[in-house]
Structure 1
Amino acid sequence: MTTPSRSHLVLIPSFNTGPILTETVRAARGAWDPVWVVVDGSTDGSDDAVAAMAAADPGLRLLRLPRNAGKGAALLQGMEAAMSAGFTHALAMDADGQHPSGEIVGMMAASAAAPRALVLGLPVFGPEAPALRVRGRRVSNFWANLETLWAGIGDSLFGFRVYPLAPLAAEMRRTRWMRRYDFDAEAAVRLAWRGLPLINRPVPVRYLAREEGGVSHFRYGRDNLLLTGMHLRLMAGFLLRLPMLAARRLTRPRPAAATLR
């Protein structure tokens, strides 16, 4: 096990993830200490095994929400608790096995070297990745980069990221949005508006088949409608901030974003 960090932790939100949750948590704990799991109103009993693990592992903590509130809401609950415990940064990691635990240390090191930065995982897709999902995210990526005047958001929907907690929590407290599927893209845009440096770090993505325990709560129509409404809201905010964003680009010429390999 690694030496416990006093500043950075791993946050894993989970809703009805099934047995893959235990595998994800075990892999994350093998790479980092501490790891916190936020169970977002699950009804499948998948958190019971994690509760048993946490009872015997001081580096693992389980938080339970009484009802499903969405990924962003679960992460906000975890972030508030983490800040109360003295943590300053959190790596958000999906519970479904897509995000590679082997990249946790590298992501955390990038954050420690640039504490103000938002460290964004840049997905490297394998051949098993659904083509519709891979192509569809390009639309959100275009709008997110337009809304920030190409500040350097490599991928707006990939949730494997290290967030500075204070600025993200402040943004979330100001709005009732960013609670469900809209969280990842809006968080990146709003933190870019705040002027946080953006670091993109390529990481492999694994899409598990159903027989491998893969679980997806993505609903093409519902979630794309949510993203459309989100980008309409963000475009309004972009227009209000356009003079500031343009001035920032002119007065601080630099590459769109740092990319680490």
Structure 2
Amino acid sequence: MKLSYTALKTFQQCNFRYHLRYNRGLPSRPRPAAQSSRALHGALHLFHQGLKQQQTEAPALFPSSANALETLLAHLKGYYDNPLRPLTDEQYQEGRALLMRYWEAHRGQFPTPYLLEEKFTLHVGPFALTGRIDRVDDTPDGFEIIDYKLAQRSIIPPDPLQLDVYQLGFHARTGEAAKKLSFYYLRTGQTETVEADEPAAAQSRVRALCRDINREQEFHPQEGAWCTSCDFREFCPAQNRTPRPIPAKGRATQLGFDF
């Protein structure tokens, strides 16, 4: 069974929500910000990919405009013009403003990335934990994982679980360990950096959580701040005296076994 950081976090917050989304296969509501996020991530990936090619492969073959603001904005325009990846005019204009701020914050001086948009799969018992790392820089202090965030910066510290998953993903792909993880908030231009734990410690915590998921059979709801944005409140016995019946279609309840 495939899992992601989002699935693990969902289980930590509410077993019932996890069960409906990942065991029963109920769809979540589409969120308009998701399309903007994909376009911005894609534009930044193409931009940094061009910089990496210019700086590490054959500098004479790539124009000096690779690090130009116009190049970065052109990548976003490609998403706007693509009918398969539609952006509204408002999303496009906001995206341009965010990328201009990103470029200005670096003043055209960008590091050569070590990895870009790196996918990973971690096998933990019966689960395949999948994810994608936006960028990794090789800095004088060691490897730094960069994660772009479209959401506003939170007063809550970065989730340790996300740090663990990214560290394990990077280690699985390279055999190396990251020294730190930085969240870059595109709306504000702020960066929040935290020290990364060793892969062995991260693996122990993720394995324990996956073991809890595998053994869980009741999936009781757990109320919290996440309830207000939950897609499945109408089915929840903690939120409704007479909740709607859970649709019969979808995946069957998982089978538990030790690992």
- Normalised by the shorter chain, which TM-score bucket? under 0.3
TM-score by length of 2: 0.25
Q: Which has the larger radius of gyration?
A: 2
TM-score by length of 1: 0.25
